[in-house]
Amino acid sequence: MFVSFDFFFRVFRVVDLSGGECMAELRVGEQKIRINNIFCVARNFVAHAKEMGSVIADEPVVFIKPNSAVVQPGAPLVLPAWSNDVHHELELVVVIGEGGKNIAKENALNHIAGYGLGLDLTARDVQAVAKKNGAPWTLAKGFDGAAVLTDFVAAQGIDPMQQQFTLHINNELRQSADTRLMVFDVATLIAWISSKFTLQAGDVIYTGTPEGVGSIHLGDVLRLTWSPHIEQEFVVA
């Protein structure tokens, strides 16, 4: 597989030489795009909603992760000590290149700079308690390392609703996604999100996971594959 660097985004962190660490950035060619908001879509595949005992709503269900949760290619996945059940959720991820408010669905794909894969890591035990108590999911979804991102490919020439991608853990297939099975397609998601929030360049959208979510453990090797664009591994350390 060969992809020209000009068509590749790389996720990396800007490091403050004084000792602090700044927000993650995406690179396309010589251009750097800082990651701003991270929007995540829940329950966008019927089979996944069923396995979680949920139903599909009439509108997208969206939550937000902090950009400090980003994990870059090559970095280990570090599980939080306060959870005993962290789950993987494989997703197609969109990076916004041109922001906007009330973006029309027919123009929505023109606002995308690139696509990649991601893992929405979820502390499922913590989330279950939050759901039971009617509390937000922030802790379960937004901890450091909860927003895993592969490299990204430029949006030009890619139809986001004709894509298939997989997650293997220790060489065993765990999740297989087909974007044609999404309840809300990518254009609809961008139009809806921009009707509620002003999208900005560098905003990231996790578009929802298919069925097959499950626990990850120390030493697991997670391989995310989107042929012919991406094949990358992350190790739980």
Q: What is the pLDDT of residues 110-147, one digit of tens each?
A: 999 999 999 999 999 999 999 999 999 999 999 999 99
Assign 26 a pLDDT band (cuts: 50, 70, 90).
confident
* Distance (Å) of CA 186 to CA 23, 72, 92, 122, 159: 25, 23, 10, 22, 10
For residues 5-31, average pLDDT: 53
> Average of pLDDT values for 181-200?
97
Q: Is the peptide bond before 228 cis (omega within 30 degrees of 0)?
A: yes
Spatial distance between the Cα atoms of 156 and 154, rounded to a whole number of angstroms? 6
pLDDT at res. 27? 67
- The per-residue pLDDT for 192 is 98
The per-residue pLDDT of the chain, averaged, comes to 89
Three-state SS at 90:
strand
pLDDT at 14: 45
Helix (H, G, I), strand (E, B) or coil at 108: helix
Domain span holding position 51: 5-235
The whole-number average pLDDT for the span 17-33 is 61
Domain count, the chain: 1
Structure tokens at 80: 């939080």
Is 236 in a helix, a strand, or coil?
strand
In this prediction the pTM is 0.89
DSSP code string of 151-202: EEEESTT--GGG-EEEEEETTEEEEEEEGGGBSS-HHHHHHHHHHHS-B-TT
Percent of the chain with pLDDT over 90: 79
CATH number (domain holding residue 99): 3.90.850.10
What is the number of other CB atoms lying within 10 angstroms of the CB of residue 143? 23
The whole-number pLDDT of residue 25 equals: 84
For the chain, the straight-line distance linking the first and the last C-alpha, in angstroms and rounded, comes to 28
